[in-house]
Chains A and B, each alone.
Chain A
Amino acid sequence: ETGVTQTPRHLVMGMTNKKSLKCEQHLGHNAMYWYKQSAKKPLELMFVYNFKEQTENNSVPSRFSPECPNSSHLFLHLHTLQPEDSALYLCASSPSRGASGETQYFGPGTRLLVL
């Protein structure tokens, strides 16, 4: 275990549903990340939070809405998703974005299927 947990582990939702993904880290880190992992494609960075402030949004559609209430928790709110949004959503954390060589610690991911 890496100290980063994600719930739920699996999620099936319709295109009109609203759901949220949760990530929690127990490592005392200050930076948290959301990635999308699709089959046979590189991981795509979606959002970055540093000290609870969003520092990056990589042109993610507005149907994905992140929330970071504190440095230990990160949410991804989902609404009116499309079937092409089906993927593994990974959360990661790192001490901070101050050091380029720092390791990111990944959660187990939420496998999302949009019908």
Chain B
Amino acid sequence: AQTVTQSQPEMSVQEAETVTLSCTYDTSESDYYLFWYKQPPSRQMILVIRQEAYKQQNATENRFSVNFQKAAKSFSLKISDSQLGDAAMYFCAYRSISSGSARQLTFGSGTQLTVLP
């Protein structure tokens, strides 16, 4: 079974600065998807960014980018020019391409990001 580990329960960043949230995962598969989801306080969880494992190029979405290190099984999220609205719980998630129950999303325990004004 796959596992996802987020070793930083809490992080803080100064507004306009850059912060990196770490995520590692364990799998024996060669192809899969990785996701970062954001859950603001009392608001719905939304997708931030998605990476396909067979693509070597790191995904980017505006101020959000990932550092995908397949050999190291690492998938960190970098937030540039942090804004107050970036404050949220961030979840890393893994999804197999295999069939059946293995294709469910496996989530990490989350990193609570605080943005300081």
CB of A109 to closest CB in B, whole Å:
8
A23 sits at the interface (CB 8 A) = no
Complexed CA–CA distance, A48 and B101 (Å): 10
Looking at A11-19, A62-70, A73-81, A96-104, the stretch in contact with chain B turns out to be A96-104
Q: Which interface class (under 10, 10 to 19, 20 to 34, 35 or more) fits B?
A: 20 to 34
Contact partner, B105, options A4, A40, A104, Cβ 8 Å: A104
Say yes or no: A42 contacts B4, CB within 8 Å.
Answer: yes
Say yes or no: A103 contacts B44, CB within 8 Å.
Answer: no
- With A1-B44, A4-B44, A108-B44: A103-B50 Cβ-Cβ less than 8 Å: yes
Say yes or no: B9 contacts A42, CB within 8 Å.
Answer: no
Q: Which interface class (under 10, 10 to 19, 20 to 34, 35 or more) fits A?
A: 20 to 34
The chain B residues found within 8 Å of chain A, CB to CB, are 4, 9, 32-33, 35, 37, 42-47, 50, 52, 91, 95-97, 101, 103-110
